[in-house]
Amino acid sequence: MQIPIYQVDAFSTVPFSGNPAAVCPLDAWLPKEYLQAIAQENCLSETAFFVARDHSGEYDLRWFTPNQEVDLCGHATLATSHVLFQELGVDEPMLHFHTKSGELIVRKLNQGYEMDFPAVPTSMFFQPLDLPTLIGVEGRVIGRAMDVLVRVESEADVRALKPNMAAIATVPARGLIVTAPGDDEGVDFVSRFFAPQAGVPEDPVTGSAHCTLAPYWAKELGKNSFFAQQIGPRGGELHIRLEGTHVLLMGQAVTVIKGHIYLPDSL
C-alpha cells in the first residue's frame, strides 16, 4: 500500500522557512496506531491526514504530533489546503474541514490562504508558575486556554528566552505561549511557542496559538487586525483579523518534498 505524502513549509513563500508540516491524503481512515506511527516517523511538529467526504470541497481532517493526536493545528491546516489547491488541483472557492474543533473553513485568495478558526480566549489559571525557571525571564501569566499564555516585557525578552523543556513539560496545558509587543513599526506583537509535552519542543509558527493571542491583543491594543511575527530560530509571519468569535489567519505556503509512504498490503 502506498500513501502520498507532501512536506509543506507553511506561513512562508520560500522553502526551508516557516513551519514544516507533512500532509497525507487518504482514501479511508487507517487505524490510529498507523497514523501515529507515520507522524512519529516524519518527526515534524505536525502530520495532517485527510479523507474526502461525498460533497465536493468537504474533508475530514486530523493532526498528529510525533506523540499524540491534537484537537487544533493551524499550520498543518494551511499546508493541507495548499496541497489540495496547488498539488491536487481542487477547484473550489473554499474548503470545509471537519475536525475535533468543529468545522474549519479555508479560502484561497490572491495573496495566499485565509483560515477561519475559532477564537480561544484565556480563562483564569490559578497554578503558580516559576517563570524564571520555565523560560529564563520574568513575566506575567495571563491565563489558560489550550495553552498557557505568558506576557513578557519586550521583544528582546522573547528573543532571549531560555526555555527549560523539562519544566515546561509539567505545565498542565498543551503548551506555553510567550508574547510581547513588537519592536518594529507595523509589527503588533511577537511570540514563541513551546510544547514539549506534545512532542514539539519549539514550534516555528503556530497558527492555533494565535487563536488565543488575537483576542488578548485585541483588548490590549484596541484593534482587531494585526501583523504578527513568531520569532524563534526559524519563525514566520501572520496577518490576523478577529471577527467576533472567529480568528481569520492569512498565510502562504510552499511545497518542498513529495513522495510516498509504503505500508503492508495486508493493512
Tell me which residues are annotated as active site.
46
Place of cell 480568528: 247
Task: Give the number of other CB atoms < 10 A from CB of residue 3.
Answer: 17
**SS3 category, 42:** helix
CB burial readout 164-198, b (16+ within 10 A) else e: beeebbebebbbbbbbbbbeeeebbbbbbbbbbbb
AA identity, residue 218: A
User: Which three cell numbers mark 162?
Assistant: 531560555
Whether the Cβ atoms of residue 117 and residue 145 lie closer than 8 Å to each other: no
Distance between CA atoms of residues 267 and 259, nearest Å: 20
User: Which three cell numbers mark 216?
Assistant: 488578548
Count helices and strands (H / E) in the chain. Answer: 6, 17
DSSP label at residue 153: S
Q: Beta strand 189-195 with 200-203: parallel, antiparallel or unpaired? A: antiparallel
